[in-house]
Structure 1
Amino acid sequence: MADKGEKTIGELVSELTGEVRVLFRQELDLFTAEMKEKLVALAKDGAAIGVGGVLLYTGFLVLLAAIVLGLATVMPAWGAALVVALGLIAIGAVLVLKGGKDVKEMDAKPEQTVGALKETVQWAKTLKFTSSRRRGFASKSGTRKAI
């Protein structure tokens, strides 16, 4: 029989099962939060790439309009169109390059979750070691040995 203050094996197993469930839920919540954070960053970078692409395309169209105006009539109006086109192209190129660089540098691996899982494995190994020592606690004759 268990002394006062000691838990039975059934109670310990039940408590361990409950703690493992809580730990698993916490690991899943951490993974979910970390992946949401990475998806938000990816969405922002994707938006920058998209806006940059639209500006590059717009700049190209304005550049074509400047070339057409310049060739059709030799007037100063094409100079203004050329300046606008080059400005849009420069801004678009900067946005596309920045967004592409950020996407390449992003680490999609959930670092916090991996670290927490490694800690959990270490914890489980210590439990295994502790439980294997408990088996040897009682001698074959049934008397208890001091630790």
Structure 2
Amino acid sequence: MSDLTGTPTTELVKQLSEQSAQLVREELRLAQLELRQKGGRAAKGASLLGGAGVTALYGLGALIAGFVALLALALPAWAAAMIVAAVLFLVAGVLALRGKKQLELATPPKPEEAAESVKADVQEIKNRGHR
């Protein structure tokens, strides 16, 4: 740091303003770079997870085919396939009902508790202002 003794206050304020603005710009650039890097990693991770999901879906299909083949040892193949399909539709129905319930709990998509809290805070401030 240089010696600032004897520097006029207006000059010091000007330097402070310029340095503060420069610091904010540099911090914003650093934040943008960091977010860009993290965004790239997130995209790569999401695509890998998508690939894993598709692969798992094929695996599930093979497992279901195995169950059908196993049941076909005791029943006609068409009956085994119908039984497995019925079980899968039952599971899908249960999952759909649970998902619907969760969506109903999430709507409307507004922060109701936070809004009530803000209203209470505003009311408290008004009440304190009237004292």
Class of the TM-score when normalised by the shorter of the 2 chains: 0.3 to 0.5
| TM, length-normalised to structure 1 | 0.40
| TM, length-normalised to structure 2 | 0.44
Q: If each structure's helix is expressed as a fraction of its own residues, which one has the higher value?
A: 2
